[in-house]
Structure 1
Amino acid sequence: MAALRTLLATRSRIRLCRLSHPASAGFGSGSAAHGGSGEVDVKRLDGGDAGVVEMAMCREKARNALGHVFVRQMRQLVSELHRDSAVRVVVFRSLLPGVFCAGADLKERARMSNSEAEHFVLGLRSLMNEIAALPMPTIAAVDGFALGGGLELALACDLRTAAHTAQMGLIETTRGLLPGAGGSQRLPRAVGFAVAKELIFTGRRVGGEEALQLGLVNRAVEQNQAGDAAYREALCLAREILPQAPIAVRMAKEAMNRGMEVDIASGMAIEGMCYARVIPTRDRQEGMAAFIEKRKPRYTGE
């Protein structure tokens, strides 16, 4: 019954969200890294979506496989976002139909020595940690296959949306490996240890609806003709975050991320430190004033 209620609530949100999707939300206009020719590009949305940044994967010939160039470009862009206080939400998406990220580039990996492969995976794990450590909320829009390292990338994000037709799985054991970019740690935290062990031991893939029931994704939607339903739902979710006080949202993320790794008493102390950092902000004063004056707050991130 709980899963059914979640699905019904999700579908209700979808109907409301799809009433408005401005053309400016699509990829193509605005500033893009590498002049639009890279394997990973970034775009800042404008208008009512100002504050949302899209990290768009576009390695067409290899289905967004995690190769050297792809990883290097994404690492550079993620590093730049760490320092950008104007960014309120980051959406990770694919520009390729039917695929989010196919995981490791096995052709590149086959040419590596054992030490080179180990070093590369170490760097890949570091990239996923950098994504997880971004101070603003991140959303993975899974409109297709997210396998192996592709699912590890989605798991490094705070929130995930998926099309019903998406296929997700940590399939490394079917290749003689185990998840090496954080999957063995993040999947149990997302779905619980017993379910995670089953999925990793068997290498089984799950679709969007099952992923929602397992708690692997936050929202699952029927795929549309354009093949970007999960991306549109991710935008809908981003728009629900945008009106909130950005410093408070960042501090809430820090409190939860740091607190879940320690005992409850230490977590309370972390919460207290994060709370103390929002007390002197102008946004807190604006929130109180807006409540008293019965109007919508106008947060500036200060």
Structure 2
Amino acid sequence: MNYENILLENEGPVTVITINRPESLNALNAKTIQELSSALKELDQSPACRAVIITGSGEKSFVAGADIKEFSDFGQEKAEELARNGQNILFNTIENMKRPVIAAVNGFALGGGLELAMACHIRYASDNARLGLPEVTLGLIPGYGGTQRLPKLVGKGMANEMIFSAKMIPAQKAKEIGLVNEVFPIEDLLAKTKELAQTIARNSPMAIARAIHAVNLSDTDQGFETEIKYFGELFDLDDKKEGVSAFIEKRKPNF
């Protein structure tokens, strides 16, 4: 499938999706959201894909935010529809994928851009990255899950500070508070992210898919029972048999 605003590159079991709107610092408009959703849903059904990386084109910006021009004249009804559709079409899709999705945050990740990164399962950042939720400066609040995902990652107090003040934080601060996993020089970011993705891709896709779902339920009353169920379920599947056989035979598993 041909896309207008994103680029796809396959490297064995890892697919890199690059948001390619450099003229607008890779801002998310409706078409980009739909293209990302379509590509991710297709990859989630592909046996060849084991992990996905999302990044932005250039070195200035991962995603500088939502494309404000598209909704500047909306009223309440259309604005609620925008937020609900965006969350359902893209952000929740990422969080609930069977394949792990890693954000390679290069430069600005603001508003919808930070919300996109937070929907991913893992976040690596470049040393020039700046992250923030500036919506209150527009008289708004985050609408793509920012008020819900940020507290789970950094705690309610820090989330409140970031949302209420609208200030950007540097990459190293983001690592200190748990918003990103690692920080690298910009020239090393994608290579380091690919290295992690390739490591993940060597592991059991059956186990990883269930681990994603179980972790997503970790703050609900279903979490422990889901873990127990999946732990038992995996004992009857091929990946567990291959993994245990490989361990006993002192070889690498072939999942």
TM-score higher than 0.5: yes
Partner of 2:159: 196
Distance of 1:42 and 1:278 partners within structure 2: 32
Task: Indicate whether 1:248 and 2:210 are aligned.
Answer: no
From 195, 213, 228, give the equivalent of 2:176.
Answer: 213
Q: CA deviation at 1:219?
A: 0.7
From 16, 27, 38, give the equivalent of 2:4.
Answer: 38
Distance of 2:68 and 2:83 partners within structure 1: 12
Identity %: 35
Tell me the number of residue pairs that the alignment of Structure 1 and Structure 2 aligns.
254
TM-score between both structures, scaled by the size of structure 1: 0.80
Partner of 1:128: 91
Q: Which portions of structure 1, spanning 4 or more consecutive aligned residues, are displaced by more than 4 angstroms? A: none
Q: CA deviation at 1:51?
A: 1.2
Q: CA deviation at 1:267?
A: 2.2
Contact (CA 8 Å) 1:57, 1:94: kept in 2 or not? yes
Deviation readout 1:172-201 (Å, 9 max, x if unpaired):
111111111001000000011111111111
Partner of 2:137: 174
Q: CA RMSD in A?
A: 1.5
Secondary structure (helix, strand or coil) at the match of 1:162 reads strand
Task: Indicate whether 1:57 and 2:19 are aligned.
Answer: yes
Q: CA deviation at 1:217?
A: 0.4
Contact (CA 8 Å) 2:26, 2:57: kept in 1 or not? no
From 117, 121, 125, give the equivalent of 1:154.
Answer: 117
Partner of 1:14: none
* Larger RCO of the pair (alpha carbons < 8 Å, separation 6+): 2
Deviation readout 1:111-136 (Å, 9 max, x if unpaired):
43443333222211222111111111
Partner of 1:144: 107
Single out whichever of 139-148 and 289-298 deviates more from structure 2: 289-298
Task: Indicate whether 1:81 and 2:43 are aligned.
Answer: yes
Partner of 1:116: 78
Contact (CA 8 Å) 1:148, 1:169: kept in 2 or not? yes
Contact (CA 8 Å) 1:78, 1:131: kept in 2 or not? yes
Query: Residue type of the partner of 2:232?
Result: A
TM-score between both structures, scaled by the size of structure 2: 0.94
Distance of 1:119 and 1:92 partners within structure 2: 25
From 123, 126, 133, give the equivalent of 1:163.
Answer: 126
Q: CA deviation at 1:85?
A: 3.3
Secondary structure (helix, strand or coil) at the match of 2:186 reads coil
Could you tell me which runs of 5 or more consecutive residues in structure 2 were left unpaired when the two chains were aligned. none
Contact (CA 8 Å) 2:25, 2:60: kept in 1 or not? no
Task: Indicate whether 1:287 and 2:243 are aligned.
Answer: yes
From 209, 220, 235, give the equivalent of 1:262.
Answer: 220
Could you tell me which runs of 5 or more consecutive residues in structure 1 were left unpaired when the two chains were aligned. 1-32
